[in-house]
Structure 1
Amino acid sequence: MKKPLKHLFSTEKDNKTWRLVFLGSPACALPTLEALLSFSPPYQIELVITQPDKPSGRGRRLQPPPVKELAVAKGLQVYQTPRIRKDAPAQELLKSIAPDVGIVVAFGQIIPPSILDIPPYGFLNLHFSLLPRYRGASPVAHTLLNGERKTGVTIFRLNEKMDEGDILTQEEVEIFPEETAGELEARLAQVGANLMIQTLANLDKITPVPQNHAQATYAPLLKKEDGLINWELTAENIVNRVRAFTPWPSAFSFFRGERVKLLQAKAITEKSTSLRPALSHQLQSQDCKAGKVLHVDKSGIYVACGQQTVVQLLTLQPANKKPMPAFQFSLGRQIKPGDYFG
């Protein structure tokens, strides 16, 4: 049985330096690691566990995870593992270090009970949603896919089930209207880092709260093919996908067989453009199908979507090219009303 989460970091009462292990991999884990390093002591990071180096770019050269790069730069001990639940040496290393507590941010692997039981105070995980909503690997993207206006971060104590542990602290965050998944995740990472420090400093005052599993929703891992745009969706849904899939896996469609990323788009409403009456007239014609180009000008490419809605494409990126304004894309391909995406 784990010790109650009390007096772990009571540095006013004693001068003990608490031994931490940090598990994380991508850039969104860096703010928390940096925050812990800036507060050392009383937090001594004894070990950083991260994913293996992976091939990246055209040359497919091995690239270390961002967490490894920072850890090495700070002189921290690093251990890389592709599957910690089957990694006996990793478990033995953790036992030999005997950390007081573990900190987890976007590690990307399920941690087995045999490791969860090693620190007397368990593992504290930073999750980028307000649990129990959006459990899983892609909470930020699914939050935007569903058109949420608010989200937040949760720090909870890991157990053997995915994102089901008792909640320690949460902080709500407003979502900006045009914010992409990459932008929102970066902002949540900073909020979460600050909350992690506050949580550690006040553990003696925190009563863990069990999650209401009946309210749980899920955010499964995204796949590359998820980015393919279905023009039968409403303009609002398509814009949500553009935001949710930026920077990865990227919303995309095809124009005359050419794959094109959609980087920025806007749903057209009655108030957003003087073109709306003319566009509405075109939408009502019998030959207007989803994906049809309705209008092109310097402000973008206007495309018909489901339920007689219109999306304005603002920024596009052809394969192996740099991002460009949609109008520039249209000039190079002589796009005109009546052409189709999809």
Structure 2
Amino acid sequence: MRLAFMGSPDFAVPALRALHAAGHDIVAVYCQPPRPAGRGQKETPCPVHRAALELGLEIRTPARLKRDIAEHEAFAALDLDAAVVAAYGLILPRAMLDAPRRGCLNIHASLLPRWRGAAPIHAAILAGDAESGVTIMRMEEGLDTGPMLLKEATPIGPETTVQALHDALAEIGARLILRALAEDPPAMPQPEQGVTYAPKLTKEDGRLDWSQGAAALERRVRALNPWPGTYFQHQGEQIRVLAARIEAGAGAPGVLLDDAALVACGDGALRLTRLQRPGRAAMDADAFLRGFALPAGTVLG
């Protein structure tokens, strides 16, 4: 099948590789332009860009699409059977949505209509959902509102991290898009009930609010690492919390209940088990506390 692939982050790479391995004719790969990264701020291509280079595929990196008529015409000239979209990062205008014969098929990392939007994997863990999954949908101009072709669910356990769920959903998405292209299943409209939204995350979303319950905070730690990262303020530093577990305990929210990083929350307590100071290596709590004491009674910001 004659395809364009449109994606940027790690999540999209398994699908690109699966489509290539299956023998589809991927005539163009669209992804975000290289951006400065690292200490030297060197222009760095995104994961899909790197994978496409490895596979010898044509790469296109437009900075914007909405009003770029020349880009719309170039896309239409590809004469596509379908376009596969996975976390591309740019909104496709109507002219591009309508160009492929079978439309633009999106690999969305949730069980639609739950968690439309930019951060569905994080949102599912934050909310304490028992499961997540992937939906293959035919795109339209609304935000993740298009009709659904296929779905597959996977459980979210009490220790599931965002990275583990991300990787599982990426593999499911790669498998499902091959089925969708091969089987051309009938499209089913999304139900009107159960719609929720997962907005784009910001750095501020990672600040731990100790007035919340320990269960909600523990989910936040699992959901927001590595990005945007969860943290608290202490002695003028922003201390990252990379892992934590719920334990028994009670006290004023934010107060340390012992010398081993047990923090009182709005309901219950949270043991901080892996921490990181700015510019330093991440450490398990016992090693961290040998160089940066957090004595009982300390109030964390």
Amino acid at match of 2:12: A
Match of 1:36 in 2: 19
2:186 maps to 1:207? yes
2:265 maps to 1:305? yes
Shift of 1:338: 0.6
Matched ranges for 1:58-137 at <5 A: 58-137=39-118
Match of 1:244 in 2: 223
Name the CA distance, whole Å, in 2 between partners of 1:261 and 1:334.
Answer: 15
Name the CA distance, whole Å, in 1 between partners of 2:50 and 2:142.
Answer: 30
Name the CA distance, whole Å, in 2 between partners of 1:208 and 1:240.
Answer: 34
Which structure has the greater CA radius of gyration? 1
Match of 1:292 in 2: 255
Residues 235-289 of structure 1 deviation map (CA, whole Å, 9 limit, x = unaligned): 0011111011011000011122211111000111xxxxxxx4xx4xxx3xxxx42
Name the CA distance, whole Å, in 2 between partners of 1:213 and 1:242.
Answer: 32
Match of 1:337 in 2: 296
Does structure 2 conserve the Cα–Cα contact (< 8 Å) formed by 1:81 and 1:87? Answer: no
Match of 2:278 in 1: 319
Specify the SS of the correspondent of 1:176: coil
Match of 1:6 in 2: none
Name the CA distance, whole Å, in 2 between partners of 1:289 and 1:175.
Answer: 31
Shift of 1:166: 0.3
Specify the SS of the correspondent of 1:85: coil
Deviates further, 129-138 or 61-70: 61-70
Specify the SS of the correspondent of 2:30: strand
Does structure 2 conserve the Cα–Cα contact (< 8 Å) formed by 1:315 and 1:323? Answer: yes
Match of 2:171 in 1: 190
**Unmatched 5+ stretches in structure 1:** 1-17, 269-275
Deviates further, 160-169 or 325-334: 325-334
Shift of 1:153: 0.5
Specify the SS of the correspondent of 1:214: coil
Name the CA distance, whole Å, in 2 between partners of 1:139 and 1:318.
Answer: 29
Name the CA distance, whole Å, in 2 between partners of 1:97 and 1:131.
Answer: 30
Partner of residue 240 from structure 2, selected from 245, 248, 261? 261
Does structure 2 conserve the Cα–Cα contact (< 8 Å) formed by 1:228 and 1:251? Answer: yes
Name the CA distance, whole Å, in 2 between partners of 1:26 and 1:138.
Answer: 13
Match of 1:328 in 2: 287
Question: Paired residues, what number?
Answer: 301
Amino acid at match of 2:266: G
Amino acid at match of 2:125: L
Name the CA distance, whole Å, in 2 between partners of 1:95 and 1:207.
Answer: 24
Name the CA distance, whole Å, in 2 between partners of 1:142 and 1:220.
Answer: 9
Match of 1:26 in 2: 9
2:130 maps to 1:149? yes
Q: Which aligned runs of 4 or more in structure 1 are off by greater than 4 angstroms?
A: none
Name the CA distance, whole Å, in 2 between partners of 1:86 and 1:143.
Answer: 34
Amino acid at match of 1:239: E
Name the CA distance, whole Å, in 2 between partners of 1:331 and 1:157.
Answer: 54
Task: State the TM-score, normalized to the length of structure 1.
Answer: 0.86
Name the CA distance, whole Å, in 2 between partners of 1:334 and 1:33.
Answer: 47
RMSD after superposition: 1.1
Deviates further, 128-137 or 209-218: 209-218
Match of 1:272 in 2: none
**Unmatched 5+ stretches in structure 2:** none
Name the CA distance, whole Å, in 2 between partners of 1:36 and 1:302.
Answer: 48
Shift of 1:167: 0.3
Amino acid at match of 1:151: S
Shift of 1:334: 2.5
Shift of 1:333: 2.1
Residues 6-37 of structure 1 deviation map (CA, whole Å, 9 limit, x = unaligned): xxxxxxxxxxxx21000000011000000001
Name the CA distance, whole Å, in 2 between partners of 1:89 and 1:74.
Answer: 26
Name the CA distance, whole Å, in 1 between partners of 2:141 and 2:181.
Answer: 22
Name the CA distance, whole Å, in 2 between partners of 1:28 and 1:46.
Answer: 21
Specify the SS of the correspondent of 1:102: strand
Does structure 2 conserve the Cα–Cα contact (< 8 Å) formed by 1:45 and 1:76? Answer: yes
Deviates further, 174-183 or 145-154: 174-183
Shift of 1:336: 1.4
Name the CA distance, whole Å, in 2 between partners of 1:291 and 1:163.
Answer: 38
Shift of 1:87: 2.5
